[in-house]
Amino acid sequence: MTDCNAPNPTPHEDHRRTFFARLTLFLSGLIGLAIAVPGLSFILAPVFGKKPRKWRAVGKLESFKLGETVLVEFEDPSPEPWAGVTARTGAWLRRVSDNEFIAFSINCRHLGCPVRWIADAKLFMCPCHGGVYYENGTVAGGPPPKPLHRYSVRVRGEQVEIETGPVPLTTTPV
Amino acid sequence: MFVKKLKNIWRSFDDRAGFSDYVVPLLTHVVPRDARWWYVFGSATLTAFIVQVLTGICLAMSYVPGGDEAYESLKYITEQAPFGNLLRGMHYYGASAMIMLAVIHLVQVYLHATYKYPRELNWMSGVVLLFVVLGMGFTGQLLRWDANGVWSVVVGAEMAGRAPIVGPQIAHFILGGDTVGGSTLSRFFVMHVFIVPGVIFAGIALHLLLLLRHGVSEMPNPEQPVDPATYKQDYEERLSRTGVSFWPHAIWRDAVFSAFVVAIIVGCALLIGPPALTSSPDPSSIQANPMPDWYFWWYFATLSLLPPGLETWVILGLPVVAFLTLFCLPLISNKGDRAPSKRPWALGVVIAAFTAFVVLTIYAYYEPWSPDFGVPPLPAKIVGAESGPIAEGAALVHSKGCLYCHDIDGYGGHRGPELSKIGRLLTRDDLIIRINNGGYNMPAFAGTITSAELDLIVGFLETRRGS
């Protein structure tokens, strides 16, 4: 038997050492990949998977008065069964004519806080950093860089429907 | 006879386990004798961490990290579970204590320049730990999954979304999709309970190993600047002359201070209790004004003070720059004087940072940038009329939202200028122009109020002349 720890290994022994070292590193890498590939794919899936959009009924046509802006609630397009109340989203819905509606996202374009409609002043106001929007959603004051996001609305028979969408993000163009 | 037998059993166990060989030398390592009470903050941070781990494990036995059930389980823990209220309180005040102590520990090490040779890595591992602990604070606040929690996630995702190129991807990673939903909370739960604590355990192990490797530093001595060429030798030599065993000559002070910290944590939990839950985590509810816990208020206030053009850079850049500055400090200066008397600028930096923290925190407490949605109508005593055009004007100033941002004799928000004496400062024409056209941060009201209403409002404002 040769001495594996001899200070001056034979070329043959040297080769064995290198081989074992490389084999160990290679197999360790393989083990790592076997865990990391499915694991990372699992946790990153929500980043790349596009959720389908859906039309959600938010109320009967006759329940919305002309010119009035009201808060409506609807559910995400494909809520997890355990999501419960967190699957809900809100929107400010205004009837502008018999068959025409505007739906604003409740998310302020500054940092996403929920804006409130102040009916008498005809303004949307954000509690977080004081963003203010006019009734058409354009910025009236404060830090928001963009007008309120709008959802698509349609009238199907007697039902008013809103098309679901992602939380509007204010991105930085490069 | 019996005692002898026990001793024999211990001896053979110790031979197998290695307690005397490995643990005893750690406990009895020689430390400088002159530090006295200066060095208790690091061990107290560790004690606070132990409180967090143990109370956190207990809370996790009842907490359900599910989109819908989390709120109910929090209510159960707070209102029904025996000792649940106390444990939630301990976890909350333990978090505050841990963050405070970690910062105090950092300030002490900075003032004494202990980050210099050979303890650069001690400092750098500590800076990483501090930021990871702040991450613990942020993720922990969200596990308090009420309206404030759910909207804080939205704000966090929006901030991340500002990052160039990868922003939306990070935001959707945080949310676990493109909206808040069932997956959102479980992601934060995993961060708070598995990933970040794992990093903290590893970081503490490294931090303590490095402490033992380089020894506890002496109190800074103006006569002994750090010279890497001779430091280790001099340190060993001085320590062998004057050092004492850590156990029990130094550790008793750590124990006393840690007991004091735990007493405060338990005391606050018993007397003040955990923070109340707000309404349910419903992303369609608009009655929310998300606010972080107190130790992030300074950052919250900073964001409200920035001009929009700078905002994205500060939101994303400030944490990165702060981290890099602290982390790289020993690379910039790792030798020379340690004594605060020879480093007056170090004291200046600490005082400036502390002052900024206090001022911004107080500013955030008052939230002057936030509209005062709950302001009541002006009482007749302030209006000066029970009926007639002045009273009607005052009613309009309330209903049209003027008071949300403008204060009149203590009623109203502080986003815009106070109007208590506006009748003396602006003419009737100026008032009409301002209200119609708006101005810096003020909406234009020309399209939303009638000329009759404008007359009444201006008429009322003209009577505001102070006392």
In this predicted model, what pLDDT tens digit does every residue of B295-345 receive, in sequence order? 999 998 888 888 878 888 888 899 999 999 999 999 999 999 999 999 999
Pairing of strands A69-75, A88-95: antiparallel
Of B422, B425, B384, residue with least CA distance to B403: B422
3-state secondary structure of A89: strand
A60: which strand partners? A159
Residues of A in contact with B438 (CB under 8 A): 140-141
Q: What is the pLDDT of residue B139?
A: 95
CB contact under 8 A, A112 and B158: yes
> Among all residues of chain A, which has the CA nearest to that of B174?
A47
Q: What token pair was written down for B308? A: 């929009």
The DSSP bridge partners found for residue A72 are A91
Decide: A89 and A74 in contact? Cβ < 8 Å: yes
Q: Which of B69, B161, B399 sits opposite A170 (nearest CB)?
A: B161
Residue to test with chain B: of A86, A109, A125, A149, most B Cβ within 10 A? A86
Which of A106, A111, A139, A162 to mutate: most B Cβ within 10 Å? A111
Cα distance from B423 to chain A (closest Cα, Å)?
A: 22
Most distant CA pair in chain A: distance in Å? 96
Compute the distance between CA of residue A51 and CA of residue B180 in angstroms, rounded to an integer. Answer: 12
pTM of the model: 0.93
Q: How would you classify residue B465: left for phi > 0, otherwise alpha for psi between -120 and 50, otherwise beta?
A: alpha
Q: Hey, of B142, B179, B300, which one would you mutate to test binding to chain A, going by the most A CBs within 10 A of its CB?
A: B179
| pLDDT tens string A76-105 | 888 888 999 999 999 999 999 988 999 999
Inter-chain residue contact B304 with A143, CB threshold 8 Å: yes
Q: How far apart are CA B193 and CA B417, in angstroms?
A: 46
Compute the distance between CA of residue B452 and CA of residue B456 in angstroms, rounded to an integer.
6
Report the relative pairing of strands A132-134 and A88-95 from DSSP bridges.
unpaired
Q: How far apart are CA B60 and CA A93, in angstroms?
A: 40
Instruction: Work out the widest C-alpha separation in chain B, in whole angstroms.
Output: 105
- A70 touches B at CB < 8 Å: no
In the beta sheet, which residues pair with residue B30?
B245
Distance CA B337, CA B116 (A): 9
Residue owning tokens 């204010």? A170
Contact A61, A155 (CB under 8 A): yes
Residues found in chain B: 467
Dihedrals φ, ψ of A25, to 5°?
-65, -40
For B163, residues 6+ apart whose C-beta sits below 8 A from its C-beta are A172, B170, B316
What phi and psi, each to the nearest 5 degrees, are found at residue B31?
Answer: -125, 160
Using CA coordinates, name the residue in chain B closest to A77. B179
How many residues does this entry show for chain A?
A: 174
> Rounded to a whole number, what is the distance in Å from the CA of B349 to chain A's nearest CA?
29
Chain A residues touching B67 at Cβ < 8 A: 80, 82-87
pLDDT confidence of A4, banded at 50, 70, 90? low
Sort strands A88-95 and B244-245 into parallel, antiparallel or unpaired: unpaired
d(CA B327, nearest CA chain A) in Å = 28
Question: What is the C-alpha separation between B454 and B284, in angstroms, rounded?
Answer: 35
Partners of residue B288 in chain A, C-beta under 8 Å: 113-114, 127
Cα(B290)–Cα(B460) distance, integer angstroms:
35
Q: Cβ of A76 under 8 Å from any chain B Cβ?
A: yes
pLDDT of A129: 86
Judged by phi (left if over 0) then psi (alpha if -120 to 50, else beta), residue A60 lies in: beta
CA distances from B165 to A174, B133, B341, B355 (A): 7, 28, 47, 36
Segment A39-59 shows an average pLDDT of 89
Contact state of B443 with A128 under an 8 Å Cβ cutoff: no
Rounded to the nearest angstrom, the minimum Cα separation between B244 and chain A is 43
> In chain A, which residues have their Cβ closer than 8 Å to the Cβ of B283?
86, 88-90
Rg (CA), chain B: 29
- Could you give the percent of chain A with pLDDT greater than 70? 96
Q: Is A39 on the interface with B (CB under 8 A)?
A: no
Identity at B50, one-letter amino acid code: I
Q: Is the dihedral of CA A4, A8, A12, A17 positive or negative?
A: positive
Q: Is B174 exposed, middle or buried (0-12, 13-18, 19+ CB in 10 A)?
A: buried
ipTM of the prediction: 0.90
Nearest to A86 among B180, B373, B405 (CB): B180
Helices within B295-450 (DSSP H only): 297-305, 308-332, 344-366, 380-383, 389-399, 402-405, 422-425, 428-437
Enumerate the residues of chain A whose CB falls inside 8 A of the CB of residue B404: 118, 121, 125
What secondary structure letter does DSSP report for B225?
-
pLDDT at A1 over 60: no
Residue B315 confidence (pLDDT) = 87
Specify the amino acid at residue B378.
L
Q: Do A86 and B283 touch (CB under 8 A)?
A: yes
Encoded tokens for B155: 């704000």
Q: From CA A150, how far away is CA A139, in angstroms rounded?
A: 14
In angstroms, the separation between the Cα of residue B314 and the nearest Cα of chain A is 13
Give CA angle at B178 (B174, B182), nearest 5°. 70
Nearest residue to B51 (alpha-carbon basis) of B82, B93, B105: B93
3-class state of residue A88 by DSSP: strand
Nearest CA in chain B to A138: B443
Q: Give the confidence band of A2 by pLDDT, cuts at 50, 70, 90.
A: low
Q: Is the Cβ pair A121, B448 closer than 8 Å?
A: yes
| C-alpha B129: how far from chain center | 14
**Could you tell me the two tokens for A90?**
């809100």
Q: Is the peptide bond before B118 cis (omega within 30 degrees of 0)?
A: yes
Between residues 119 and 148 of chain A, which touch chain B (CB distance below 8 Å)?
120-123, 125-130, 132, 134-135, 140-143, 145
Cα–Cα distances in angstroms (integers) from residue B113 to residues A170, B329, B334, B347, in the given order:
42, 10, 9, 11
Q: Nearest-CA residue of chain B relative to A118?
A: B401
* Nearest chain A residue (CA) to B405: A130
Adjacent-strand bridge partners of A94: A69, A102
The number of beta carbons lying within 10 Å of the beta carbon of residue B85 is: 17
Q: What contacts B61, CB < 8 A, 6 or more positions away?
A: none
With beta carbons less than 8 A apart as the criterion, state whether A93 and A160 touch: yes
The predicted structure's pLDDT at residue B304: 80
User: Which stretches in chain B have pLDDT values below 70?
Assistant: 467
**Cβ pair A160, A153 in contact under 8 A:** yes
Q: What is the pLDDT of residue A30?
A: 98
CB-CB neighbours of A34 under 10 Å:
10
Q: From A90, which residue of chain B is nearest by alpha-carbon distance?
A: B284
